[in-house]
Structure 1
Amino acid sequence: MAATLPPVICLMGPTASGKTDLAMYLADRFPCELVSVDSALVYQGMDIGTAKPDTETLARYPHHLVDILDPAEAYSAALFRADALQLVSEITARGRIPLLVGGTMLYFRALAEGLAPMPAADPAVRKQIESMAASEGWEGVHARLADADPQAARRIHPNDPQRLQRALEVYLLTGISLTEWHRRQSTEKAQAEDSGASFLPYTMHYMSIAPCERSVLHERIATRFRTMMQQGFLGEVEALHARSDLHPALPSVRAVGYRQLWDYFDGKLSLDEAVERGVIATRQLAKRQMTWLRGWQAEIDWFDSLDPNRFDQALKHLERITI
């Protein structure tokens, strides 16, 4: 009988769905180590707007890949995959269970499926795209992408500049669409699986938590954004805006909520407009996250954020898959 591969738990879900609370509950009951899967939590000094667990919580429930970079630095799915694989290996070697928790679906996919060998970011091409966005708006960039890669344009919302920029950048650098890069990646993965090779030396288990009613998630997002404003989110962005080395092209500044308040400090929006757009952008993010989850190729065990028994249900599920 073949040896059982060690388990890796992936707890996914849209923003404001209760992932962190569930992860901490499970960490209290199983020998888990938490690994953050969040493209904004990696940044130091971005605490309120990312809903980062506070210092006391992080002391009790340490999260790997939190506060590892200055906001002036860039992080990517490729860097996350390398970091996560190293951490998973180390956690497993300690006889513990890696529990990856977060809402950056691209990172989860990068871990599970790998990444096509696409070109690295090119500052000159990015500047070209940013100039295009400045003159034509991101809708113009989206239209340009639609000509080059219609499938990617259908997947990527015009209000998602980070993904728009990367998709068009790949095409401009290589003449090959992002969709084609991903197709080649999937083909290589399928060939590896057909040959009997294991893509990851772990048994991957996917869990997701989300409210069954979309309206509930929308209200949670609005309430959380208002709460963050009361907690000092505006001052947090003001401190970042005052730094001479930060600008809107950086991934940190493009994070949802930060981008809209940054526009307020740039004089492009009133504060009320910035808050309203921040809520709308967060809801759009949640919608994209749910789209990713519904299209996930592997089996996912779903838990309803509104079910009072969700913690016990998740616990029983974890007991079953780790025995």
Structure 2
Amino acid sequence: MNDARQPPAILIMGPTASGKTAVAMALADRLPVELISVDSAQVFRDMDVGTAKPDRATLARYPHHLIDLISPEESYSAARFRADALATMAAISAAGKVPVLVGGTMMYFRALLHGLADLPQADAGLRAAIDAEAAAAGWPAIHAKLAAVDPATAARLHPTDSQRLQRALEIYRLSGRPMSELLAESERQRPPYDFLSIGLLPSDRAVLHERIARRFDEMLAAGLDEEVRMLRRKYTLNLNLPSMRCVGYRQTWEAQDGTLPPSELRDRGIFATRQLAKRQITWLTNSFTAEHYDCLDPRLSERIAARTGEFLAA
């Protein structure tokens, strides 16, 4: 490795069920790396089944930084992720290893690479007002309002992505300026690393959808319903918390409360996960410069390990 260049770092980005963890573990088997999770759901303690968090045996062999950080009652921001990730990367590099950041939370990757604009703080009253508007007219109507004032942000958000729609409209109403414009003004510099960015994309979305369905079935069989019941007993939770907005958890909660027929839980959960994957793919293809690999390639891990080895040796 050339000592004159900036320290290397590897980004493994992709939609849910694209095999990111398997690729990261293959790198850990071959190269002097440490893994950092880039997953907004895996930061929550006790949320294991529905987040596809690696099990204890896997974590013992392949430790992941930045998982199990907070209670499901708390929130974890992109700004906090950036600070935590940069501190962890610095420690890994200082120990002579290479940080590998792996996950599907594209907002976190963007925050890491491009910094964060000086956005206004959350306003509980305004958020309640936006929630009331959504309750009356639906989130697609909120999406339309956002599109009228911030078309760039609206274009990358799904019409039912309530959390991000609320935040984007809140920012506009507080600042009088579109969130996309404020983000573009961010003066933070790209971190001092030589990045190799790897994007995992499916050559056939139907096969990815099959993987998503199979994995959701595995979550149900592994006790997703029991996990949500445990969380509701152990913590003071509601459906507006980021933890319970996670795909799978919201649908399971609604099935438990009877607002969603239990017979529809599987289909709703799979549909929501497919929508998440679609948003992740859109982010990955439109917002990042990365070397793309077919996540359905049976030799995927081998190919990426070879490319990473070449990158580190350059």
Give me the TM-score of the superposition, normalised by structure 2. Answer: 0.94
For 2:122 and 2:85, the matched residues in 1 are separated by: 21
Confirm or deny: 8 A CA contact 1:6 1:203 kept in the other structure. Answer: yes
The answer on 1:67 being equivalent to 2:42 is no
Mean Cα deviation higher: 287-296 or 239-248? 239-248
Confirm or deny: 8 A CA contact 2:134 2:142 kept in the other structure. Answer: yes
For 1:137 and 1:199, the matched residues in 2 are separated by: 38
Superposed, which structure 2 residues align to 1:35-46 within 5 Å?
A: 35-46=36-47
For 1:319 and 1:304, the matched residues in 2 are separated by: 19
The answer on 1:272 being equivalent to 2:255 is no
Q: Which has the higher contact order (CA 8 A, sep 6+)?
A: 2
Superposed, which structure 2 residues align to 1:207-246 within 5 Å?
A: 207-242=198-233, 245-246=236-237
For 2:164 and 2:206, the matched residues in 1 are separated by: 26
Which of the residues 190, 193, 196 maps onto 1:202?
193
- Tell me, what secondary structure is at the counterpart of 1:131? helix
Where does residue 173 of structure 2 map in the other structure? 172
Measure how far apart 1:113 and its partner are. 0.6
Where does residue 275 of structure 2 map in the other structure? 284
Mean Cα deviation higher: 69-78 or 205-214? 205-214
Mean Cα deviation higher: 63-72 or 232-241? 232-241
Confirm or deny: 8 A CA contact 2:171 2:179 kept in the other structure. Answer: yes
Measure how far apart 1:124 and its partner are. 2.3
- Tell me, what secondary structure is at the counterpart of 1:295? helix
Where does residue 17 of structure 1 map in the other structure? 18
Measure how far apart 1:297 and its partner are. 4.0
What RMSD over aligned residues (CA atoms) do the two structures have, in Å? 1.7
Where does residue 315 of structure 1 map in the other structure? 305
Where does residue 88 of structure 1 map in the other structure? 89
- Tell me, what secondary structure is at the counterpart of 2:101? strand
> Structure 1: which 5+ residue stretches go unaligned?
190-197
Identity of aligned residues (%): 51
For 1:125 and 1:305, the matched residues in 2 are separated by: 41
Matched letter for residue 278 of structure 2: K
Matched letter for residue 110 of structure 1: A
Matched letter for residue 91 of structure 2: E
The answer on 1:294 being equivalent to 2:255 is no
Confirm or deny: 8 A CA contact 1:41 1:66 kept in the other structure. Answer: yes
Which of the residues 243, 253, 260 maps onto 1:252?
243
Confirm or deny: 8 A CA contact 1:43 1:69 kept in the other structure. Answer: yes
Q: What do the CA deviations read for 1:256-295 (whole angstroms, capped 9, x no partner)?
A: 1111112222321111223211111110111111111111
Matched letter for residue 238 of structure 2: H
Mean Cα deviation higher: 207-216 or 248-257? 207-216
Confirm or deny: 8 A CA contact 1:146 1:152 kept in the other structure. Answer: yes
Matched letter for residue 274 of structure 1: L
> Structure 2: which 5+ residue stretches go unaligned?
none
Confirm or deny: 8 A CA contact 2:81 2:108 kept in the other structure. Answer: yes
Measure how far apart 1:172 and its partner are. 1.8
